[in-house]
Amino acid sequence: MPNVTQMKNVTYMPHVTYMPVKPGSYRVKFTKNVKKMKYRLPFALVCSLFFLWGIANSLNGSLIRHFQFALDLQRWQAGIVDSAFYLGYFVMALPAGMFMRKYGYKKGILAGLLLYAIGALLFYPAADVRVYAFFLFCLFTIASGLAFLETAANLYVTVLGEPENAAWRINFAQSFNGISIILGPIIGSLFIFSKTEYTKELLASMTPEQIDAARVSEALSVQGPYLAVGLIVLTVTLLFAFTKMPEVGQEEEKMEGKVHIGSLFARYRHLTLGVLAQFANVGAQATLWGYFVDFKLDFAKYENLSVVKALYQLSDGMTPEQIAGFHASFALILFMLGRFLGTYLMGRYEARKVLSWYSLAAVLLVATAFLVGGLPGMVAIMCTYFCQSIMFPTIFALATRGLPPAESKLASSLVIMAIVGGAVLPPLAGLLSMAGGMKSALLIPFLCFSYVSFYALKGYRSALEG
């Protein structure tokens, strides 16, 4: 580097390389450290979004069980909670990508946060009127906001730095999602689930008026938690509104012009297979998470109840639903640990290989739960949470890898649209459970994890080579 004191009309800056062009003239080149400093605050703020949508996702399992009594629903009807939620992703993901391509990441994030907050706050009047369709609309609105947030954030963290570290960055950011989803079952157990277990025997001893009053009380219990979530999201919205966010790749997008979905699928087979893998992954996750309490209560029938209570009951007054809610939070701790380990492993091994290890383990665990049942089967289902931890972010990073800026936002929308797997597959699992018990519902995640394994082991690599 030249002697700074000999350079004319040049202000010396640290972390900058001065490239000689001709005698007395230098071109300034910023080093990686400058990029890191530039992206540090935006990256931290975007990580907070992963935390926020984890809470919304993990509360759905509590709602599915809770609405079965509060709104007098069959299990498959309550499963439509997930359908409405993930349908919001499917409907809004593509508009979200187009919106961000025109207006940028920041405005896309702000739009998503506002929709999220509105949906959460609408739970208050929905509980007053106790109409299931109103609750589903609230969940659809929340998911519409999350479609904006996930389309923006998942892609944003992959471009805020060096391309070769994209899978590591997205898994690190998703670790905050792993922390927040632990809160969902705890919130459900403490603030949503009733302290009274409304068994068939208890309901038979109650008058119709008493039963209706109990259902009203159960419906109202969702108001407090969702009101708190809505206010927190509004606070984060204000924080983003007053923070400057870099628009990475915006100039390149303008130069590259229009992008068509058909051409993306035709030219990027790893994207096509990745969208299917994401559909399967989210479908499996929504099935296991949404029916977790039902799995636990069904599998516990085959065990000594004193053993189950000793493992999961925190106080004598807890109902089976509350115990299962805390049980779900323990499983989500495994999910968080799996993501931290996966992030570490991706710093040493190829992301595709780590995904193949996790997905194969998930296949074996679901098969074990089906064959063994009981408490060992429930432990196996818990362990699948560990394996699911890295699947969504890693599939996302692999499916969108190597795409230019103009195509990456649309591709991101397509991968997020695949979340509709969470709307399609849980009701199918619910119907299977009605025909052959909760064990039969495990067929759905078994097939889904098998496809994810195929994508990681062969599909992704063969698509790139082809």
Statement: residue 4 has pLDDT above 70: no
**Both 2 and 147 in a single domain?**
no
Closest CA to 389 of 324, 451, 452, 326: 452
Q: Find the farthest-apart pair of alpha carbons in the chain and give their distance in angstroms, rounded.
A: 96
CA dist., res. 25 & res. 240, Å (int):
40
**Both 11 and 82 in a single domain?**
no
Q: What is the overall mean pLDDT for the chain?
A: 78
The pTM score is: 0.69
Q: Please, are residues 92 and 148 in contact by the beta-carbon 8 Å criterion?
A: yes
Of the chain, the percentage scoring pLDDT greater than 70 comes to 76
**Both 16 and 75 in a single domain?**
no
Q: Give Cα separations from 364 to 11, 85, 103, 383, 445 (angstroms).
A: 62, 29, 45, 10, 11
Closest CA to 123 of 196, 172, 56, 28: 56
pLDDT band at 282 (very low <50, low <70, confident <90, very high): very high
Does residue 435 or residue 281 have the better pLDDT?
281
- What pLDDT was estimated at residue 395? 93
3-class secondary structure, 22: strand
**Residue numbers of the domain that contains 303:** 31-465
pLDDT band at 387 (very low <50, low <70, confident <90, very high): very high
* 81-85, 202-206, 299-303, 345-349: range with lowest mean pLDDT: 299-303
Statement: residue 9 has pLDDT above 70: no
Statement: residue 408 has pLDDT above 60: yes
**Both 6 and 20 in a single domain?**
yes
- pLDDT, one tens digit per residue, over 164-183 is 677 777 778 877 776 777 77
- What pLDDT was estimated at residue 43? 79
**Both 26 and 57 in a single domain?**
no
- What pLDDT was estimated at residue 111? 94
pLDDT band at 446 (very low <50, low <70, confident <90, very high): very high
**Both 75 and 7 in a single domain?**
no
**Both 321 and 374 in a single domain?**
yes
- What pLDDT was estimated at residue 72? 81
Contacts of 6 (CB under 8 A, 6+ apart): none
**Both 291 and 399 in a single domain?**
yes
**Both 184 and 231 in a single domain?**
yes
pLDDT band at 196 (very low <50, low <70, confident <90, very high): low
- The mean per-residue pLDDT over the stretch 341-353 comes to 88
CATH number for the domain harbouring residue 79: 1.20.1250.20
The total domain count for the chain is: 2
Residue 36's H or E segment, with its range, is: helix 32-70
**Both 2 and 103 in a single domain?**
no
CA dist., res. 261 & res. 101, Å (int):
14
Of the chain, the percentage scoring pLDDT greater than 90 comes to 22
**Both 97 and 3 in a single domain?**
no
**Which of 58-67, 124-133, 311-320 has the largest mean confidence?**
124-133
- The mean per-residue pLDDT over the stretch 341-346 comes to 87
CA dist., res. 144 & res. 134, Å (int):
15
- What pLDDT was estimated at residue 332? 76
* 59-68, 133-142, 220-229: range with lowest mean pLDDT: 59-68
* 267-276, 293-302, 304-313, 445-454: range with lowest mean pLDDT: 304-313
- pLDDT, one tens digit per residue, over 111-133 is 999 999 999 999 999 989 999 89
**Both 131 and 22 in a single domain?**
no
Contacts of 177 (CB under 8 A, 6+ apart): 50, 51, 53, 54, 339
